Amino acid sequence: MNRRTFLASIAAASASRADIPFPIGVTDWNLKLSSDIEAVRLASSIGFAGVEVSLGRKLVDGRLPLSHADRQDAYLAAAAEHKIALAGTCLDILHVNYLKNDPLGQKWVADGIPATKRLKARVMLLPFFGKGALKTRDEMTFVGDALRDLAPEAEKAGVILGLENTVNAADNLYICERSRSAAVQIYYDCGNLRNAGFDPLKELHEMGVAHICQVHLKDNPHYLGEGPIDLRAIVGSLRKMGYKGFVNLETDSPTGDIAADMSRNFSYLRKIAAVG
């Protein structure tokens, strides 16, 4: 079977599997196509149901790249053409302007909400990593209070603000409670939790599916199922807990052949997620 036929078979199998309890997507940055509309076509060709898109870090006329109507129109048209959802957005400029201490971070959250709504993406990921990582309770309190001010606009837009970070369930739930809004939820990532020294399965149960807006699965630098994370247990728990949102692959490409490696991980996830 050649590579083109293999990818086509993956797509066909994905479309026919009604026993998968949640849609499977992929991040544009792990396709090496951050803020690049080509990610829509590539994700669809592999068989994914959705692609999580970066809102962009290089400002265009002082605005996020995907805040511009023409870019949004192009993404919506591409998603329709390739029959794939825009599974969520990532406010990746928060890697530059940290929400925990930079007023620009709050501005970008406010700007990202209408962009996410227009893209029909529902969830906007708010990253807290590197120098922007949450280290103290004061920083968590600040973020929770800042999101309390921003959440009403998210609620009106029907957009969920997803916290992705390196802190545990208790700290994430504290931020959510501090925000006083159901529009602030947790973006669960098993790889981040393990790398931070936590048990991803235990943290999943402590977070609870009602507080999780979306999921990243990865066990980098390994293929799914070949590293130390018990993905079968995590996926089984998501299924039993009744999670129905997107599960997005944020996986590395060990060989450098992104399409082939993503197809391999996608096939594995589809297999372990199947009911029955």
Q: What is the pLDDT of residues 1-17, one digit of tens each?
A: 344 444 444 444 444 34
Burial of 131 (0-12, 13-18, 19+ CB in 10 A): exposed
The whole-number pLDDT of residue 140 equals 98
The whole-number pLDDT of residue 16 equals 39
How does pLDDT run across 175-221, given as a tens digit for each residue? 999 999 999 999 999 999 999 999 999 999 999 999 999 999 999 99
3-state secondary structure of 188: strand
User: What is the helix (H) or strand (E) element at residue 185, kind and residue range?
Assistant: strand 184-189
The whole-number pLDDT of residue 20 equals 87
The whole-number pLDDT of residue 19 equals 78
Show the tokens assigned to 58.
């290089």
Q: Please report which confidence band the pLDDT of residue 125 belongs to, taking 50, 70 and 90 as the band edges.
A: very high
Give mean pLDDT, residues 70-78: 98
- The Cα 233–Cα 208 span in angstroms is 15
Do the beta carbons of residue 224 and residue 231 sit within 8 Å? yes
Q: Name every residue whose Cβ is closer than 8 Å to that of residue 169 and which is 6 or more positions away in sequence.
A: 186, 203, 206, 207
How does pLDDT run across 150-187, given as a tens digit for each residue? 999 999 999 999 999 999 999 999 999 999 999 999 99
The whole-number pLDDT of residue 139 equals 98
- The Cα 100–Cα 140 span in angstroms is 8
Q: Please report which confidence band the pLDDT of residue 242 belongs to, taking 50, 70 and 90 as the band edges.
A: very high
Burial of 256 (0-12, 13-18, 19+ CB in 10 A): exposed
With a pLDDT cut of 90, the percent of the chain lying above it is 92
Give mean pLDDT, residues 31-54: 98
| CB count in 10 Å sphere of residue 211 | 18
Burial of 2 (0-12, 13-18, 19+ CB in 10 A): exposed
What φ, ψ does residue 191 adopt, rounded to 5°?
Answer: -70, -45
Q: Would the pLDDT of 133 be above 80?
A: yes
The whole-number pLDDT of residue 182 equals 98
> Do the bridges between strand 212-217 and strand 24-27 make them parallel or antiparallel, or are there none, so unpaired?
unpaired
Per-residue three-class SS string for 165-176: CCCCHHHHHHHH
Give mean pLDDT, residues 109-132: 98
Q: Would the pLDDT of 60 be above 60?
A: yes
The whole-number pLDDT of residue 7 equals 46
